[in-house]
Structure 1
Amino acid sequence: MKRFTLLLAAWAFSLSAAPLTSDTISEAVKLTKEGKLNVALKTLEREKQLIFQPQVNLQRAKIAREQAQYNLAIELLSPLLTLPEQTLEFRYDVNKELGVNFRRNMNTDKAEYYYLAAKQIALSLDNDDLIAQSIINLGVLYEAQGAFDKAMDLQINAQKMLENSDNYELKAANYYNLFGLSNVLRQATQARFFLEQALVYDKKTGHKRNTAATALTLAQLSAKEDDYQNAIPQLKEAISLLEQLNANESLSSAHGTLFSIYLKQNKLNKSLWHAKKEKAYAEMTQSTVRKFWSYIHLAQAYIKHKQPDTALDYLAQAKPFEAQFKSAFFTHQYNLYSSKAYAQKENYEEAYSYLLNATANFKTFAKNIEERDAVTIKKRLDNLLKSLKLAQEEKKHALTTIELENETLQKRIWLLASLLISVVSGFIIYAYYIKQKNTHYKAQMYQHNLEQKEQMLADISHELRTPLSVLKLHIEALEHNLIDDKFLAYGKINDKIAQLNNLISDVYQLSQLQNQAMYINFQEINLQQLTQKFMSDIKVLTEQYQLRFISDIDVAANTVLNTDQSKLEQVILNLAKNACLYTDAPGHVRLKVRANKNQVFIQLDDSSPGVSDEDLPRLFDRLYRVDKSRSRALGGSGLGLSICQSTITALAGNITLKHGKSGGLCVQVTLPLYKTLK
C-alpha cells in the first residue's frame, strides 16, 4: 500500500514537470528510432524524480519491446492501466502496447482483448490514424490465427483510411502486413510490391530498426524465390546493419534464413554454423517463436550430420514451446524431425509414432488452407487464360511484321537488281535466290515453333480443365451442403490440387531442361554402389505393384561414372515407376546394367502389355498418352518420358525405346564413362 501511495505521489509530481517530461520522452523517442536503445534508456533515467512517471514507463516498455523483452514490457505496462486520471490517448497507447507484446508472446486471447480495448478508445477519440492502427493490429492477430480472409479485409480497410494520412510509420506497417498476407496466399508479384512500398515508407520514418527488419524480409523473400545469388549478399548486408542496432530477434531470423539456404545447397558445415548463431541470438530475446525455430533448425542440422542424439536434445528444448503455441504447423515440424531422429537411431517404433502425429498435424494444417489454395488456383487459371490471349495477339502481330518485312525486302532487292542488272545480273539473281530460300526456311521454322507453342498451350489447358472442373463441382457442392461426407470431398479436392501441382512442376522442369537452365552437378560416382541403390528402389516399387523384379548386373567394382547422381536416379526411378504402372500382374520388371571402357549401358524392360508400332515413336512426345483414360486414372501427366529424354540428353547420353522380348516396353540408356578408379 505504501509503495502504491508513493507511485501516485510520483505521478502527481510529474504533472507539474510536464515540459521536462515531454522533452525527455521526445529525445528518447528520437534515439529509439535511430536504434540507440541503451542511450534512450539512460536518457529516461537521467532525471531520478521522473522514474515513476507513467509516460516514462510507457516509453521504457516500448524500448523493451524493441529489444524483444516482451515479459519486461508487460510488467512495465500492466500497472499503468490502474492509474487514475489518465488521458484517452495514454490509455490507448498502453492497451495497444499490451496487445502487441501479448501477441508476440503467442498469447492471442489477451492480445485480442487489449487490441479491441484500444480500438474502442480510438473510436471514442474519432482519430482516423489510431483507428487505422487498431485495425492493422487486429489484422496481424487474425493472420496469426489463420483467419486470412478476415485479416485481408482489415488491412485493406486500414489502407483506405490511410490514403490521405502523412503517418509514414502506419503506412509502412500496413504495406508490410499486406505483404505478409500476399506471401501466405502465394501471390508473389503483389507480395514483392507491398514489401518494397513498406521499405520506402520505413526509410521515410527514419526508424532504423524497422528499415533494417524490412530489408531483411526483402532478402528472405529473394531466398524463398530461390534467388540465392541476390539473397545471400542481401542477408549478410542486413546482418551487418542489425548487429549495429543489437536487433537480436531479427538477427536470429536472418541466420535462420541463411541456415535454410545452405542446407538446401547441401553445405552442411555452413548451415550448422548459422543454426548455432540463430540460437545464440534467440537466447538473448524473450521471443518464444525464435527460440522454437532455432531448436528445430539445430535438430534438422544434426540429423543431416547423422547425430540423432544431439538432434533429440534440441527437440526436447523445443517441446515446451510447441505445446504453448497450439499450432498445427509448429506441432507438425516438431513431430516430423522427431520421427527422423528416431529413425536414425533405428528406433522405428518411436519414429513411426511421431510420423503418424506429423501426418495428422499436416492434414489439420492443410485443411485450413485448402479453400485458399483452390481460390489461388482459379486465379492462376485466369492469369493463364490472359497469357494465352496475349500470346495469340503477339503471334498475329509477329506474322504481320514478317509479311511486311518480306514485302519490303523484295521491293529493295528488285530495285537493286534493276539498277545493276547489266553488270552483276547473275550475282543478284543468285543472292536473291539464297535470300528467298533463307526467308522461307525461317518462316517455316517460326511457323513450326508457333504451332508447337499453340499445341502445348492447348494441351496444358486441356489437362487443367478436367481437375479444375472437378474442383469447382466439389467446392460448389460444399458451399451448398450437397455432400454428406465432407472429409471425402476434401480428400478429392486435395487429390486434384496435387494433380495440378504435379503437372505444373513437370512443365516447369521440362522447360528448364529444354532451355538448358537446369543445373547439372557432374560428380564421380561408383557405378556398382549406384546400381545397388537402383535395385533396392526398384524392388520396393515392384513389390507395391505385385510384380517380380529381375536384376542382370555385370559391373566391375572399381567402375566410376561421371554424372549427376540425383538427375540419373530421377530418370531410372521414373522409368521403373512407369514400367510398374503399365505392366499387368503377375508380370516382371527387369534391370540390366553393363559397362565397358567407354560407356555404361542401362536397360529397363517389362512384360506385357506393350505398345503398338504406331504409338512407339510418339512416346517421347510431350503430353502424349497411349491409353489416355488409364494414364489419368494413374495420375500421369504425360510428360515423364519427355523429361527423361531431356535429362539424359543433358547428361550427354542417349535414350531409346523398342519392343521388349517379354511383350512389354524396353528402354535403353547409354551414358559416357570417362574414367576408372585406380
Structure 2
Amino acid sequence: MFRWLLLLMCISLLCDELMAQQAIPPESEEVRSQILDSSLSNSKRLATIIEFIKTHRRSDPDTSLEYADLGFELLKITADPSLESQLVGYMTKIYLERGELNRAESLIKHGLSAADRANSPQGLAINLFNQALLYQLDNKLVLALDSYNELKRAYIATKDISGLAAAHNNMGIIYQNLGNLEDALSHFQQALPYYTESGSKVHEANTIMNIGELLYLIGDVKQAEQNYQQGLSLITRDSAPLSFLEGHLRLAILYGDQQALSLASEHLSLATSVAKEYDLIASLLSINYEEIKLLSKQGDADKAYAVLLNVEELLRDDVQPELALGAFYFRALVAVEQKRWSDAERYIDALFENHVYDFRFFELQDALSLAFLIKRQLGKDAQANAIISEWFSRYRDHQKDNRDALIAQYAQLYKVNEAEREVEALTQQAIENENEKLRSQQQTRQVVFIFVVVSVVLSACLLLIWQRGKALKRENSLTNELITQKKRFFADISHELRTPLTVFKLKMQELEYNIADDPKRIYKLLNERIDSFNSLINDISLLAQNDKGEIELHFEHVNLREFFERRGDELSSLAAENGLNAIVDIRLTNADEGIIDAARVRQVLANLFSNACRYTHAPGKVRFKVKLSESRLYFRVEDSAPGLSIYEQRRVFDPLYRVDKSRSRKLGGSGLGLSICNDLIKAQNGTISIDNSELGGVMLSVVLPRNGGNT
C-alpha cells in the first residue's frame, strides 16, 4: 500500500510538472500586482491567477485559494468557461493533495461541466486527470481506469505525449494492484517510448523498474534484475533520490530471495544512506523491515534486534498506519529468533487483532506460519488451529468485500442519473410513444446492468477454473521434472561406476595373464579403487537415507573449543600437504559447550576442507573461522581458489554437480560431497550457504543450533 501511494503521488507531481513546464513562474509580488490591477482586463487577471495557482499551490496553498476566490468573482463579471475549467482544475489539486476528497469531487463535476461548455481540450484533460486521481486515492480502481481511458482520448486530441505516458503508467499501476499483470505490462510498455521521446529520464527509469517488478512477480528473476539495473543506470541519487532508493530496495529484495545475501546487504545499505540523507522516514522503515528479514535468514538475531530498535525509534514519528501495524510482525519475528516466546505471542496477537490482510513485506502465509510456531511452542495447539481457521474466515470476508466493491464500481459505470431521467420523463409526458421508448430504454439499462454483474461473476468463476488448471499443469510439470532428474541421476551414477570399473577390469586381466610390469603398484591401485567405490556407495546410501528421512543423528555434549581446534589441526595438516597456508580463527572459550552430532559435523568439515584444498593452487590460502552466539553455532571455510558465478553457486548443492567435470575427475571427487553436506546440516535444523570470499575463491557458511537441533 505504501509503495502504491508513493508512486501515485509521484505521478501527480509529474503531470503537474508537464502542465507547467512551458511557463516560467513570475515573481510573487509582480503576480500579486497584476492580479489586483483593476486596469487590466478580467481575462488577463484570470490567466495570471491560474498561472499562480498552477505554480505555487504546494508552496503557498492558502494564498492560492484566496486568489481562486477572487477568480470566481471575476468569472461572475466575465464568463469564460475555458478559463473557469482551468481555474477549477488547479484549485481541485489543492484539495486532492490535502486529502479532502468530498470537496475535490464537487469541484471536479464543476470543472468537467465548464470544460464541456467551452469545448476546451486542456480544461478537460486537467479535470479528467483529477477525476482519475480521486478514484485512485479512494481505491475505486475500476472507475479510475475508465477515467484514464477517457483522459487518453483527450491527450491524443491535444497530441500531449507526456500526458499519454503518465496515463499509461498510472493504468499499469492500477492493473498491477488488481492482479492483472498482463494488462499492467502492456500499459507500462506503452508508456516507456513516450517517456523516452519526451526525454524524462526519471520517469523512464521508474517505468523500466515497474516492468522489472512485474517480471519478478511472474518468476523471471534474471530479466527483472536487468530491468532494475537498467533503470538505476538512468538516474543518480541526486537527480531522483526516491526512485534511486526504490530501485536499490527492489534489488535487495530480489537478491535476498535468491540467497545472495551479501549483495542484498550492499543494496540495503545504499537505500538506507539515501533515506537518511533526505529524511525519508517511511522509506527508512521499509528498508529496516527488509533488513530484519535478511538478518533472520542469516540467523543473526542480535543484529535483527538492533535494527528493530531503529524501527521503534522511527515509529515515534507520524507514519502511515500500514507501516506501523506491520511492525508487529517483525517484532514477533525477532522475538522468536531470541526465544522470547511470550513477547512473540503478544506481538502476533496484536497483528491479527488489527486485521492486517495485505502488507508489502510479508505474506499472509508468513504471518500464519509464525503464529502457528509461537502457539505450538507455548503449548497452545488448540488456539493455534483456531487462529488459522478464524483468520482464513476473516480473509475470505475481506476478499468478498473487495469483490462487492468492484461489482459496485462496474454498476456505477452504467448507472443512470435519476434527476436527468425524471426531467426527461416530464418533458416527454404528453407523448405516449416517447414514454414507451423511455421505459424500453430503462429495461435495456437494467439488462445491461444485470449482464455486467453476471459477466463479472462468470469472469471470476472462469478465472478460478483457469487458475486451477494452471496449478494442475504446474504440478504435472514438476512431476515430469522429477522423473527427468531421477533418470539423469542414475545416468551420472552409471558413468561414475563404469569408467573406473573398466580400468579395474583391465588391471585384473594384467594380473591374471601375468603381464603386469609392477604387480605391487597395481594391487595398490586396485585397493584405492575399492576404497573409492566404497566411498561412492556410502555417499549414495546417505543420499537415499535422506530422501526417506532416515538419516540417523547422535547428539552429544561437546566441548566446542576442543572439538574445533582438532578440526583446525586437521585442516593445517591437509593444507601443508598441498602447499597451502591455513588460517584458523577459533573464537571460542574453554567453557563453551554445545549439543551437536560430532560425527556428522566432522564429516561435513572433512568434505569442506577437502574441497578447499583440492581446488586451491599452491601457494594459496584456506581460512577456517568459528564463532558462537547464545543459541547458534557459526563456522565457515574459505579459500583462494578461482571463484564461482552466481549460477554455479546456486547449483553446487545439487547431487553430482561439478563446475568442471573433467577437472573434478582428475582431482578426485564424485560431485556428491556438498549435496551430502547440505542434507546433513538440514537434518540438524541448520543452514549452509555459499558466497564469494574476500580471499578470491568461495566461502561456505554453516549455521547450527547450539542445543542439539532444537530451533
TM normalised by structure 2 equals 0.46
- Structure whose alpha-carbon radius of gyration is higher: 2
TM normalised by structure 1 equals 0.47
